[in-house]
Amino acid sequence: MRNAAATRAAILSAARARFSREAYDSVGVRDVASDAGVDPALISRYFGSKEDLFVEVCHAGDPSDLFTVERERFGAHVAHMMLYEPQDSEKLDCFLIMLRSSASPKASGAIRVMGRERFYDRLEAILGGPDAKVKGKMVGAIIMGLSISRALIPDFDLDERELADMERRLADIIQRCID
């Protein structure tokens, strides 16, 4: 028999996998429960609702790694992460989950709030100054565009040399957005 922490973790893991592959409206509570090997009633017990589970899944993908590097290396750091981080990592899953579910009226509000609180507000605070909001939105748009591109074509259909060139150019573009 599982303990509460293990059951909760299994549900979160199954939900993360489902939401990263399917849009919010396509994911069923019974499917998540089946994937986790638990009774569907446990989702309500531990999370309340599908919406609450979705929010918890999105909170599990922590973008803190983006904010731990010095400002002068930010562009290089983000470019490297977006091109070389394993596609199924939690760092990138949060972007995919939000993108796949953004068309859902139930999920879009939560996505907007989480994006602001967990990404844009933090980035704008680091950037500072009167243009911080615009700069943050530009970087966010680049990251989202890369997430979509990478979801469609994981290796961008580039060889190693071309990918290195893309990384260098992308780092420069991102850095110019924040400087």
List pLDDT tens digits, range 114-137: 888 888 898 898 888 889 999 999
- Other residues' Cβ atoms within 10 Å of the Cβ of residue 17: 17
In the prediction, which pLDDT does 1 show? 46
In the prediction, which pLDDT does 62 show? 64
pTM value? 0.76
C-alpha separations of 30 from 12, 41, 60, 146 in Å: 13, 9, 21, 32
Residue 135 token pair: 């700069």
Residue 62 token pair: 């922590």
Q: Would you call 101 exposed, middle or buried from its count of C-beta atoms within 10 A (0-12, 13-18, 19+)?
A: buried
- Enumerate the CATH 1.10.10.60 domain ranges in the chain, comma separated: 4-59
Residue 88 is classified by DSSP as: T
Averaged in consecutive runs of 10 residues, what is the pLDDT profile of the chain (179 residues)? Answer: 84 92 94 95 93 87 73 92 77 76 88 85 87 93 88 90 97 94
CATH superfamily of 4-59: Homeodomain-like (1.10.10.60)
